[in-house]
Amino acid sequence: MNNDIFYFFYNLGQQSKLIADFAILLNNLTYPVLGLVLIWAIFLSKRRFISFSILFLTSITTWLVAYTLKLLFQIPRPFVEFGITPLAYESGYSFPSEHASVFFAIAFATIFLDKKVGRALLFLAVLIALSRVVLGVHYPIDIIAGFLLGYVISFFYIKLFKKL
């Protein structure tokens, strides 16, 4: 089933230049958008220090955990496994998606800080996560793991900072 869902989304990018270009755009904007979110936390959020701290710690921790899990599981990327041409080149292992993990973590943490901004980021996180499959660099299970990892780590920091 994981492979069937992968091929469904991957084939969308192969059959539609518009979808492929949109997926590439999302791929290239991921980390600049995260930078803008941190800038928002510093200058525009209501609780600047708390907001920045939660978002910074959430993103760094999520990235480190996702990176460590990649090294532990060492699952090859779909384009390596299936011998297909990805729409964007990525190196390293597939599981879990660092892009999805970090972006979902930031989105969930932001929902706690500002529901309106957080919901917009959550919608963008879903698009980014799906784009990683369209690009041929992640399986759907990588995205699901990223979603769960992002949620758990953001939940941890939100609870931690609520106690402070």
Q: Encoding tokens for residue 38?
A: 């941190």
Task: Provide the pLDDT confidence category of residue 57 given band limits of 50, 70 and 90.
Answer: very high
pLDDT band at 37 (very low <50, low <70, confident <90, very high): confident
Counting residues of the chain whose pLDDT is more than 90, the rounded percentage is 63
Q: Which tokens belong to 82? A: 């299936």
At residue 31, the pLDDT reads 82
Q: Is 111 or 164 the better-scoring residue by pLDDT? A: 111
Split into its structural domains, the chain has a count of 1
Amino acid, single-letter form, for residue 90: E
**Structural domain for 58, as ranges:** 2-163
> How would residue 123 be classed by pLDDT, with cut points 50, 70 and 90?
very high
- The predicted structure's pLDDT at residue 101: 96
